[in-house]
Amino acid sequence: MRSLSSLGSRSLAHRPGRTLLTGLGVALGVALLFGVLVANRSVNRSFERATERIPTTFNVSLTRSDGAVLSDDVIVRTFALPHVSNGEVQPDRTELRVAIRGIAATDWQNQIATPALGPDIVFGRIITIGGEQQPDNGFREFRESVEGTLAAFSAVSLFAAGFLIYLTFTTAVLERTALYGLLRALGAHPSQIRRAVVVESLTLGAVSSVVGLLLGFGIASLITRLLAEALGVATPPSEIQLWAVTASITLGVATSVVSALIPARRAGAVEPVAAMRGDHRAAGALSRWWIAGAAMLPAGVGLGVRFPSLRVAPVSATLIVVGSVLLVPPLLKPVARALGVATTRLSRNGRIPVMHLVKERSRSAYTLALIMVVLAMAYSLAAADTSMHDALDEVFDHQYRTDLVVFRAGAPYQPSELAAISRQPHVRAMTALGLGRTTVADRTANVVVIDPASYFGMLSFAWRDGDDRSAAEALRRGGAALVPADLAARAGVRRGDPILLSTPDGSRTLVVAGTFVRFGFLPDMGVVVGPTDAVSFGVAGPVALRLNTVEGTSTSEIVNEVLAVPGPGFTYTQVQTVAQLKEVVIGSVDRYFRLFFAVVLVALIVGLLGLANTLGMSIFERTREVGVLRATGMHRSEIGRMVVVESITLALAAFVLSIPLGMIQAQLLTRGTREQLGFGGGGSQPVWWLVPVGVLATVVAALAALLPARRAGRVEIVDALRFE
Amino acid sequence: MKIYGARRALDGVDLDVARGAFVSVMGPSGSGKSTLLHLLGGLDTPDEGDVVLDGESLSTMDDRDRTLVRRHRIGFIFQAFNLVPVLTAGENIALPAVIDGERPEAYEKRLQAVLDAVDLRERRDQLPSELSGGEQQRVAAARALFVEPEVLLADEPTGNLDSRSGTELLSVLKRAQRDHGQTVVLVTHDPAAASFGDAVVYLRDGRVCGHLHVDGEGGDRAQLVLAWLQELGA
């Protein structure tokens, strides 16, 4: 041994079980972070490559009907045609994309291009919704919010991993206090001891981070797949960048070292005589850190309420989580005592472990905090998920109360086409919607043009403030808009207030005739105006239909009837039943949440490792006590059961404390999702979800107690009584 | 004077230990023996009074300087061995050198010599858990001797040993005094162990209440100490 610092690595090797548990916690934290970074990058690059290939100015595509390569002659002649302002040949030369200006694309095709280029050329439309082409505007916000939320969750997981290291080193320092006292007695400076502890954490952090990186490759491909699914893009290959590797390793190592700093300081401050006399075990004293927690928690809540954006979420979430964690120690004693009334019944000697929990407050409290944070995460996610499903149901009950949803890209429906569809034998009722774009309070939003007469005869809105009759009247008169509640809140307007909306010709002020809940995944959810205001927003005509069918109509019958009405030649029509549409939307929501639940699951495993680690440590420290209990007649199984009682009491206390934290986080998460993405939902608390979360806590506790309980039961009396 | 809470662990103790002396400290439990040893070794500081080592006051030194005194000038042997479980016997012995930043090649000869002195050359690479109690305590003694300290402080070093192992250890201490001129202060309950010293000090309730100069050889010395203790009513 060349220096005291290598004592650290010896100690790690001496306790392989605990080292493995802690290392695995760090590795999982790093793996998760790395996975999220790589997945975000891969999906982003894939998305960028896709959008790079479709410049927003091109609106018509030309290909040969036989799919062959376009000749130079055709390309040159196309560029020479009137109204072609720009164009681009695709790399394989089978497609030419052009930007048509100053004439409707349909007219350009019919009147200019087809006569000039001949019947072999097929025209397609590069789809745009509404007036100005902004293909990824809303999508980008959605993507950023998903990434932000993922980053926040992985930060919490890394925090949990850091916490695990802190717990391990705190207990390891406590356990080795006598050793540090001896080293001080032999002439070691406090700085040498601090360095030894830091080097130990550095070693553990570095090795675990490298392992985490390897695990991260697997997690990256899983998250990439889930993320691509949630965003509705093809799963791209993982793109690994040097900075992602560096950032993950650095964060893993830094978290390890920072987490070990406080225990290292404690180790260095050990007084030799007190350490060797055993006075250091008076660790139950309550520190004053809870005061900082009492300040941080409301600050985090305030920040989250004031700035509900998901981008601020990581900061407010960190303040809330750290604040709550610091508040746990003073709460542990009363909560554990209260729960102990029930859990002590699980074992004849159940009082002993509950007493230990209360006595060893510091370590128990922070382990409990770790579990509490993860359970709160699970609950808040469940609440957000439930809230979204509720909002979806509410929106579908009001705004999609029809049988069929039709969307046509390429060209708006002409009045004659609408009349033809409405005359089809299985169509009972129909209303048409036009789509445009606007900006409200710096947020891009769709404009939905409805015909109040037909719309309110079939459908309604999920009103927050308003009613069908007054809304229909206001839209019929014009100069009025129905505004999604989230946009109204963002713009700071209520029903009856004026609202400023952008149009292709500048800004326009309309009066808010009502506010309603919308659902962000659905494109025809935006600011609703009547036909008289459609022109202001550059909406040429309806592009979507809602149909009610005659009873007994099959889907294929109605689809055929809708498609039987000929369009202008190059349109794309999508016909879906409302049930199909709902299924698609629910699928998107579920994919989105599956991703987050996967992250929470990893955090839960980290929490489980923390609990197992703490229990193991607790049993180790009480080896002599276990020996005495065995010597005085306690069975091995009873000793094991005591450990389980301790674990379950701890986890249930964490569960109890996670309820208010989870509810706060759920409110903020739902609010953030609503404000940022326009997903509705009133932020209702799915209290019934507490049951599975409580069961989850108990299962985690039982799993975490397995090994420590087995070890405690196997303690040999003579060895234990000899234990120092 | 040293006070712990409301209890005076040491009160008015005035003790002069000459260079190269071997002094045994005896007394009932709680009499302040270990506290005295901790003060002498700079592990703790008195609340009143002073501890002077070769003209230097330990009480007025800052923690850094006191640490250096412990590192270079004082060797400790504890009743509970206090060996580092993850280090081998040889590494435990060389621990003070590691703390001092010495390289293994620089202290190898010294280590060999100490291992020979305590007859542990063959056990050098064993972990403490693989050694007997007597061997563990000899490792602890070797660690104290390794730095060639001016003062050796031993706190009940034979408390956990059988009589043969205890005698071997005390012989090691005696040789350190006799052959190397090191000062030894031994805290013990055992009159036979105390008789290895040239003098015995008896503490009761934190005060010195008896001082014996020990003469003679072998069993006579132990008898002398025993008789003296009876005189003191111990």
pLDDT, average across residues A112-125: 79
Q: Does A172 touch chain B (CB under 8 A)?
A: no
Q: What mean pLDDT do residues B157-174 have?
A: 86
For residue A412, what is the DSSP state?
A: P
User: How far is residue A672's CA from residue B6's CA, in Å, rounded to a whole number?
Assistant: 59
In the predicted structure, residue A285 carries a pLDDT above the cut 70? no
Contact A183 B71 (CB under 8 A): no
Task: Provide the CB-side half-sphere exposure for A52 (13 A, CA).
Answer: 7
Residue A188: list chain B partners with CB under 8 A. Answer: 67, 71, 99
Q: In 3D, which of B36, B38, B72 has the Cα closest to residue B54?
A: B72
Q: What is the pLDDT of residue A368?
A: 83
pLDDT at residue A26 in the model: 78
Q: How far is CA B148 from CA A384, A488, B64, B74, B99, in A?
A: 70, 83, 20, 8, 15
The confidence band for A719, taking pLDDT boundaries of 50, 70 and 90, is low
Task: State percent of chain B over pLDDT 90.
Answer: 35
Across chain B, which distance is largest between two alpha carbons, in Å? Answer: 53
CA atoms of A412 and A542, how far apart (whole Å): 5
pLDDT per residue as tens digits for the range A175-196? 677 778 888 888 888 888 888 8
Q: Kindly tell me if the per-residue pLDDT of A142 is higher than 50.
A: yes
- Counting Cα atoms < 13 Å in the Cβ hemisphere of A311 gives 5
A41 DSSP 8-state letter: H
Q: Of B216 and A126, which is predicted with more confidence?
A: B216
| Banded pLDDT at B125 (limits 50, 70, 90) | very high
pLDDT of residue A152: 65
Q: What three-state secondary structure class fits A471?
A: helix
User: What are the tens digits of pLDDT across the range A458-494?
Assistant: 889 988 899 999 999 999 999 999 998 888 888 889 9
Q: What is the pLDDT of residue A137?
A: 38
Which chain A residues touch B95 with a CB distance below 8 Å?
183, 186
A532-542: average pLDDT:
86
* pLDDT-derived band at A54, boundaries 50, 70, 90: very low
The pLDDT mean for chain A works out to 78
Kindly state the percentage of chain B with pLDDT values over 70.
99
**pLDDT one-digit tens code per residue, A204-261:** 888 888 998 888 888 888 878 877 776 666 677 777 888 888 888 888 888 788 877 8
Between the CA of residue B137 and those of B40, B82, B89, what are the distances in Å?
A: 21, 9, 11
Between residues A19 and A549, the one the model is more confident about: A549
- 5-64 of A, contacting B, C-beta below 8 A: 7, 10-11, 13-14
Which pLDDT score, from 0 to 100, does residue A569 have?
54
User: What residues in B contact A14, CB-CB < 8 Å?
Assistant: 85-86
Q: Take residue A286 and report the two structure tokens written for it.
A: 């309550």
CA distance A498 to A513: 9
- In chain A, what residues touch B98 (CB-CB under 8 Å)? 1-4
Q: What is the pLDDT of residue A311?
A: 66
Q: From its phi and psi, is residue B54 left (phi > 0), alpha (psi between -120 and 50) or beta?
A: left
Helix (H, G, I), strand (E, B) or coil at A506: strand
In contact, A639 and A713? CB cutoff 8 Å: yes
The region of weakest confidence among A370-374, A510-514, B23-27 is: A370-374
In sequence order, the β-bridge partners of residue A548 are: A429
For A187, the closest of B67, B80, B104 (CB atoms) is B67
pLDDT, position A131? 35
For residue A482, the model assigns a pLDDT of 94
Given a cut of 60, is residue A57 above it in pLDDT? no
Q: Does position A132 have pLDDT exceeding 70, yes or no?
A: no
- C-beta separation of A85 from A99 below 8 A: yes
Question: Does A116 contact B at CB distance below 8 Å?
Answer: no
- Residues B103, A2: C-beta atoms closer than 8 Å: yes
ipTM attached to this prediction = 0.76
User: Who wins on pLDDT, A434 or A33?
Assistant: A434
Beta carbons of A179 and B96 less than 8 Å apart: no
Assess whether pLDDT exceeds 70 at residue A554: yes
For the residues A105-114, what does the mean pLDDT come to? 78
Q: Do A4 and B84 touch (CB under 8 A)?
A: no
pLDDT value of position A433: 92
- Asked if the Cβ–Cβ distance from A187 to B100 is below 8 Å, we say yes
Q: Report the pLDDT value the prediction gives residue A157, as an integer from 0 to 100.
A: 64
In whole angstroms, what is the distance from residue A456 CA to residue A463 CA? 13
Q: Which of the residue ranges A84-98, A354-368, A502-516 has the most confident prediction, judged by mean pLDDT?
A: A502-516
DSSP B13: -
Q: Model confidence over B33-52: pLDDT tens digits?
A: 988 998 898 888 888 899 99
Minimum distance, in Å, between the CA of residue A4 and any CA atom of chain B: 6
Alpha-carbon gap, residue A475 to A448, rounded angstroms? 12
How many angstroms separate the CA of residue B147 from the nearest CA in chain A? 10
Cα–Cα distance measured from residue A720 to residue A724, given in angstroms and rounded to the nearest whole number: 9
Q: Is A186 on the interface with B (CB under 8 A)?
A: yes
Q: Is pLDDT larger for residue A640 or for residue A44?
A: A640
Averaged pLDDT, A79-85: 76
pLDDT in tens, A603-633: 777 777 777 777 777 777 777 777 777 766 7
Find how far residue A542's CA is from the centre of its chain: 35
* Per-residue pLDDT tens digits for A431-453: 999 988 888 887 778 889 999 99
Q: Which of A44-53, B95-104, B180-189 has the highest mean pLDDT?
A: B180-189
Q: Tokens at residue B8, please? A: 């005076």
Model pLDDT, residue B196: 92
pLDDT band of A154, cuts 50, 70, 90: low
Nearest CA in chain A to B106: A2
Q: What is the C-alpha radius of gyration for chain B, rounded to an integer number of angstroms?
A: 18
C-alpha to C-alpha distances, B49 to A363, B46, B58, B183, B228, nearest whole angstrom: 40, 6, 11, 22, 29
The strand ranges marked E within chain B are: 2-4, 7-10, 22-26, 52-53, 56-57, 74-77, 151-155, 183-187, 199-204, 207-213
Which chain A residue is nearest to residue B72, measuring alpha carbons?
Answer: A187
Work out how many CB contacts closer than 8 A connect A with B.
Answer: 67
Q: How confident is the model at residue A134 (pLDDT cuts 50, 70, 90)?
A: very low
Q: How far apart are CA B208 and CA B10, in angstroms?
A: 9
**Mutating which of B2, B64, B67, B146 best tests the A interface, going by the most A Cβ atoms within 10 A?**
B67
Amino acid type, A389: H
A344 and A333 Cβ atoms separated by less than 8 Å? no
Element (H, E) at A174: helix A137-175
